[in-house]
Amino acid sequence: MDAIAEEDLITDRSGDPHWEARCDLAAAFRWAERYDLHEGVANHFSFAVSDDGKQFLCNPNQRHFSRICASELLWLDADDPDVLKGPNAPDPTTWGLHGALHRRVPHAKCAMHIHSHYATVLACLENPVLPPLDQNACMFFDRQIIDGEYGGLAFEDEGERCAAMFSDPRKKVMVMGNHGIMVIGETVGDTFNRLYLFERACRNYITALSTGQPLKMLADTVAEKVAKEIESYPVSHDMHLAELRMILDEEGSDYAE
């Protein structure tokens, strides 16, 4: 399945069973820019829309996050490399990294890759593991994939290498050494919330390190207890994005066009 042609862009809800997912993804892009999690016109979010996870939505090539609309999202098939030959082709690193994930990792329904400030600083440390310094950090205790073998831009070989590391369904954050992070999840809202909280936990950790004072880490037993409590918390992790969409709607944003 090729990327959708510009003249075939979907401009309303009719006929598209994945319109809400499109709107969620577009809203996530808008707020990633507001939260300063973007990298110019680089970095990519994707969301699987087929049962096998191989057909997925992702951002158009070289479009700034602050301008992405639901109807502009590309629809790609991870088994069809010919999408790179079309006039509306995705960025090659989108295909390399996200195509491999949606082809090889069925539980990675949504995938968000960014070079956010504090998570990237973490990824450049000799020990890039986010430790259980605060409650947010506990959410990721023993649930991080550490990739210390950065091999260059995320073209197909690098994407396949990274995808192969997502073998444990509990681990939904990859700290990509000297690069950035990849966060996966079940829904757009769940994934965006995880991305946001990981960056904030990294900010707290890097800021604490900058004081030069000894850090008081939580015990592993406490960190694991908190991680499990957060995983079973009765409030939906999708509500963060739902509230952000309401703010965009109240402002008259065109994200859902």
pLDDT, residue 15, reads: 79
Q: What domains sit in the chain, N to C, each tagged with a CATH number?
A: 6-251 (3.40.225.10)
Buried-state track 192-231, b at ≥16 Cβ within 10 A, e below 16 = bbbbbbbbbbbbbbbebeeeeeeeeebeeeebbebbeebe
- In the chain (257 residues long), the average pLDDT of successive 10-residue segments reads 44 79 98 97 97 97 97 97 91 95 97 98 98 98 96 92 97 97 98 98 98 98 98 91 98 98
Tokens 């050494």 label which residue? 177
pLDDT, residue 3, reads: 47
Question: At 223, is the secondary structure helix, strand, or coil?
Answer: helix
pLDDT, residue 112, reads: 98
Can you tell me the distance from the alpha carbon of 162 to that of 208, in angstroms, rounded to the nearest whole number? 30
Amino acid at 161: R
pLDDT, residue 167, reads: 96
pLDDT, residue 227, reads: 98
Indicate the pTM of the whole model.
0.93
